[in-house]
Chain A
Amino acid sequence: MRWMPALAVIAFAAVAAALGMAWEYAPVAQEAAGGITQKIFYFHVPSAYVMYIGVTACVLGSLGYLLQRRPGWDALAQAGAEVAVVFASIVLITGPLWARKAWGTYWAWDPRLTTTLLGTLIFVAYLVLHSASGAGEAEKRFASALAVMGACVMPVIHYSVQLWRGQHPTVITSRGGGLAPAMGTTLAVSFAAFTVMAAVLLFVRTRIALQEARVEALRTQAVSLGLLDDEALS
């Protein structure tokens, strides 16, 4: 995978450009929105979007694995869960930092915050179960089922701001307040950059997970054919 560093550089450059644009180009918002901390918005929201992409990949991979038992599906599910957890962590760290200024507190048990935390914990549990399973087929199936069931919380996260009252604002939804033009441009660039980053991470991580599974399968096959000793599996 000689092209991996080049892809990583492109993705990093895109995200760095978006972060730089958020800092330099986007204007400071009104105090009610958090003033300068509103700049967190330009990577907080795209990170949440990437979390959804990761969860979608994980659920598709898990469903595929449950139906066909092919390692490629499992690799996609694993990559999706990792990407979802990394970007959900960004959401859960940057959100409270913004909230400290805008709301006066780091955390509120707002339905959106609570369901996002819940969704993140579900996919952390998936990764723990998956990594603890080794090559266990049953555990991988259980992890896949957990991912499919856990994904049910995603629509709840998305629609929580429309169902329940709370502190988390709606800005870019159909019933949101809207953005100044420069802010909208910055957000669009950030969305594009984070999408590129997510695609690269998902693609590369899926390939690596698939190669890991293939190496393991080859080693097991070599041992079963008597070409290698049992110690080779350890």
Chain B
Amino acid sequence: MKIAALALTLSLTLAAPLARAAANPPHPDAAGQRSMAFEPGLGDAARERVPGGRLVATAYGAVIVLIGAYVAFVARKAARVDEDLRRLEDDLARRGGDDAP
């Protein structure tokens, strides 16, 4: 029952943004309309209304933090598995010792 409720909630939550995207009808030249070439330009940081440098620094920070956090999470999991295995061995060894004549 809980799973069914979760599935229903999930479906309704996900349906809203999809419906919004589908509201735009397909267009025959959508790719052409979006096409853009990236070329070297003469950036003038002094005249920027939006501080681009700060945005790039934030993006770099986000990449480093997210990948770093995930690597730390994986490393912690690895350490925990090793610890669990050692504890299981200890438990079995102790139990074996208790049962010994």
- Chain A residues in contact with chain B, CB under 8 A? 1, 4, 8, 12, 15, 19, 23, 27-41, 43-44, 47, 82, 86, 89-90, 93-94, 97-98, 100-101, 104, 109, 111, 114-115, 117-118, 121-122, 125, 129, 138-139, 142, 146, 153, 160-171, 173, 175-180, 182-183, 197, 201, 204-205, 208, 211-212, 215, 218-219, 222, 227-228, 232
- Interface contact B41-A28, CB-CB below 8 Å: yes
Given A19-B63, A212-B81, residue A178 in contact with residue B37 (CB < 8 A): yes
- Interface contact A171-B45, CB-CB below 8 Å: no
CB distance from B94 to the nearest CB of A (A): 10
Kindly identify which residue among A36, A115, A208, A227 contacts B74, using a CB–CB cutoff of 8 Å: A208
- Interface contact A205-B74, CB-CB below 8 Å: yes
- The B26-54 residues at the A interface (CB cut-off 8 A) are 26-27, 30-41, 43, 45, 48, 50, 52-53
List B contacts of A100 (CB < 8 A). Answer: 50, 55
Task: Give me 5 other A-B pairs in contact (C-beta within 8 A), A161-B34, A169-B34 excluded.
Answer: A27-B40, A117-B17, A171-B38, A219-B88, A222-B91
- Interface contact A86-B66, CB-CB below 8 Å: yes
- Interface contact B52-A101, CB-CB below 8 Å: yes
Kindly identify which residue among A27, A169, A204, A208 contacts B35, using a CB–CB cutoff of 8 Å: A169
Interface centre among B35, B41, B45, B92 (most CB of A within 10 A): B41
- Interface contact B70-A125, CB-CB below 8 Å: no
Kindly identify which residue among A15, A114, A228 contacts B17, using a CB–CB cutoff of 8 Å: A114
Expressed in whole angstroms, the Cα–Cα distance for A227 and B48 within the complex equals 70
Expressed in whole angstroms, the Cα–Cα distance for A4 and B53 within the complex equals 35
CB distance from B93 to the nearest CB of A (A): 11
- Interface contact A162-B18, CB-CB below 8 Å: no
Q: How many residues of B contact A (CB 8 A)?
A: 55
Kindly identify which residue among A38, A212, A215 contacts B38, using a CB–CB cutoff of 8 Å: A38
Given A39-B56, A177-B38, residue A227 in contact with residue B92 (CB < 8 A): yes
Expressed in whole angstroms, the Cα–Cα distance for A157 and B35 within the complex equals 17
- Interface contact B34-A114, CB-CB below 8 Å: no
Interface centre among B27, B63, B84 (most CB of A within 10 A): B63
Kindly identify which residue among B26, B63, B78, B95 contacts A208, using a CB–CB cutoff of 8 Å: B78
Expressed in whole angstroms, the Cα–Cα distance for A229 and B26 within the complex equals 62
List B contacts of A41 (CB < 8 A). Answer: 38
- Interface contact B31-A90, CB-CB below 8 Å: no
Given A31-B41, A139-B3, residue A170 in contact with residue B31 (CB < 8 A): yes
- Interface contact A35-B59, CB-CB below 8 Å: no
- Interface contact A89-B66, CB-CB below 8 Å: yes
List A contacts of B85 (CB < 8 A). Answer: 211, 215
* Interchain residue pairs with CB less than 8 A apart (18): A4-B78, A33-B39, A39-B56, A40-B55, A90-B63, A93-B66, A97-B62, A101-B50, A118-B14, A121-B13, A165-B27, A169-B36, A175-B32, A175-B35, A176-B37, A180-B40, A204-B74, A228-B95
List B contacts of A180 (CB < 8 A). Answer: 38-40
